[in-house]
Amino acid sequence: MIQLVKGTKDIFAAEVSAWQEIENKMRRLCHTFGIGEIRTPIIEFTELFVRGVGETTDIVQKEMYTFTDDGDRSLTLRPEGTAGVARAYIEHGMHNQAQPTKLYYISPTFRCENTQAGRQRQFHQFGVEMLGSYSPAQDAESISVAAALLEEMGIEGVELRMNSLGCPDCRSRYNKKLRDFIGQNLDKLCPTCKERFEKNPLRVLDCKEERCKEIIANAPSVLECLDEECTEHFQKVQDILTEMGIAFTIDPKIVRGLDYYTRTVFEFVSDGLTVCGGGRYDNLIEECGGKPTGAVGFGLGIERLVMILEKQKGEITEVPKRDVFIGSMGEKGFLKAQGIALALRKNGISADCDTVERSVKAQMKYANKIGARYSLVIGDSELENGAVELKEMETGEKTTVTLTELSHVLAEKCK
């Protein structure tokens, strides 16, 4: 038997229904912020992620699904959404449109990493990108979208944590201080962090190993290395968030796992888990071949969001139920049931009918299994009288309804 690829899952109707509700809330919220949807390809040239995400990141080093096509070109299944949006922004000259350009996406994403609760090798990411502005107000607006979304979803105990990584000059100063500090404790770090130290010491701050976290707790703060302009930018973000009524905590250890971040970075945490995260990436567009462009955004995994919702609220999935099941007796009744079902569906009523010519008893058993709210059976006598008995499945109450009135009656009952 051929089985699922490790780190992937089948999503059935009950869960899809919950996902659709979540996605609809995302779309409605983005509409209120004037954010339009973008859909980029699942595959991109590998170079986009090497240049955009960063050659030293775990994503590029260890987690990408990369292959060579017949034209000897290196292609990669997207491991995150921002780089593809940046490529589209450049390629289609979106800088010529009204700025900032505000976009969102809901798309499958792929990373070859260890699987665990809320973390799959194929996962679905919701992301918002705002390109074309260096203003701290854009940082605050991006954060406010994420905050509004989590509030709309009903996620409990959410905490916003923020930091600033400064500009490249600030980062360079901090990297020197951090390298000096970590160098004194290098022998105590995990093997992965020793490797990170050589390539990009900032990545050590992202380690989840306890022994590394104990050392990192005493590391110098990046905030000490910010220049006046970056300090002012970060303070302005805080002032705007305060005016918006969005509470936050400053956490100098937040660096995020991607090399393209500059200045503001942030995470929303609930129950000890990062629900979503993002930040400013003012160098990414230029790094990918475009003109210098300010940009900020965030992303969240829908699987993790669903997991947290289920943990906090219990089962959120529900099998979609039919409004009515149309049973039948005899050849004429069987044919008529097919026509009635289609007519009801055209009027927006969820209708099902027997298609395998089962006994009436078996048909009613099926109606119960699919959770039909109402049922009816049509045979020779019903056809002769032009009326049926409409049964409410939960109470057993029956109402006589003419065939001509059936659609109207069901539409009223199933509002």
As a whole-number percent, the residues of the chain with pLDDT over 90 amount to: 66
Where is pLDDT greater, at 227 or 219?
227
129 carries a ligand binding annotation = yes
Residue 327, judged by CB atoms within 10 A of its CB (0-12, 13-18, 19+), counts as buried
Report whether 286 belongs to an annotated binding site. Answer: no
Residues 6+ apart with CB under 8 A from 347: 407, 411
Q: 282: part of which helix (H) or strand (E)?
A: none
What mean pLDDT is predicted for residues 123-130?
96
Q: Is 366 annotated as a binding residue?
A: no
Q: What is the pLDDT of residue 178?
A: 82
Rounded CA Rg of the chain: 28
Spatial neighbors of 178 by CB under 8 A, at least 6 apart, are 201, 202, 204, 205, 219, 220
Helices (H), 104-167: 136-153
Structure tokens at 230: 């970056």
User: Is residue 125 part of an annotated ligand binding site?
Assistant: yes
Place of tokens 């990408």: 64
Specify the pLDDT at position 179. Answer: 84
Of the pLDDT bands very low, low, confident and very high (cuts 50, 70, 90), residue 130 is: very high
Residue 161 annotated as lining a ligand binding site:
no
pLDDT at 93 over 80: yes
Dump pLDDT digits (tens) for 134-179. 999 999 999 999 999 999 999 989 999 999 999 999 988 988 888 8
- What is the arithmetic mean of pLDDT over 90-100? 95
pLDDT of 315 above 80? no
Are residues 266 and 250 in contact, defined by beta-carbon separation less than 8 angstroms? no
Q: Residue 93 in 3-state DSSP? A: coil
CB atoms within 10 A of CB 286: 13
pTM of the model: 0.86
Q: Is 82 within any annotated ligand binding site?
A: yes
Check if the beta carbon of residue 147 is closer than 8 Å to that of residue 304.
Answer: no
DSSP 200: -
Residues 102, 297: Cα–Cα separation, whole Å: 9
Q: How far apart are CA 38 and CA 35, in angstroms?
A: 10
Q: List, as one string, the DSSP characters of 126-139.
A: EEEEEES---HHHH
- When mean pLDDT is compared across 66-80, 192-206, 313-327, 381-395, the lowest value belongs to 192-206
Map residue 101 onto helix, strand or coil: strand
- Convert the pLDDT of each residue in 333-347 to its tens digit: 999 999 999 999 999
Q: What is the DSSP string of 292-355?
A: ---EEEEEEEHHHHHHHHHHHHS----PPPPSEEEEE-HHHHHHHHHHHHHHHHHTT--EEE-S
The annotation status of 304 as a binding-site residue, yes or no, is no
Q: DSSP H helical segments within 185-329, as ranges?
A: 191-199, 210-216, 228-244, 284-287, 302-313
CB 330 within 8 A of CB 354: no
For all residues of the chain together, what is the average pLDDT?
A: 91
Q: Which of 1-15, 160-174, 193-207 has the lowest mean pLDDT?
A: 193-207
Task: State the Cα–Cα distance between residues 401 and 350, nearest whole angstrom.
Answer: 18
Helical (H) or strand (E) element with 262: strand 262-270
| 267 marked ligand binding residue | no
Question: The tokens of 10 are what?
Answer: 């089948």
* pLDDT for residue 257: 65
- Nearest residue to 165 via CA among 40, 251, 69: 251
Count of C-beta atoms within a 10 Å radius of residue 386: 10
Q: How many CB atoms lie within 10 A of CB 369?
A: 10
User: Which residue segments constitute the domains of the chain, with CATH numbers given?
Assistant: 13-167+227-313 (3.30.930.10), 322-414 (3.40.50.800)
Structure tokens at 161: 């944590």
The beta strands (E) that lie in 15-168 are given as: 36-37, 43-45, 66-68, 74-77, 101-110, 122-131, 159-164
111 labeled binding residue: yes
Q: Which of the residue ranges 17-31, 70-84, 107-121, 218-232 would you say has the lowest mean pLDDT?
A: 107-121
The contacts of residue 4 (CB under 8 Å, 6+ apart) are: 10
More confident residue, 372 or 196: 372
With a pLDDT cut of 70, the percent of the chain lying above it is 98
Give mean pLDDT, residues 15-38: 94
Is 118 a residue whose pLDDT tops 70? no
Q: Which amino acid is at 36?
A: G
Instruction: Give the pLDDT confidence score for residue 75 in this predicted structure.
Output: 96
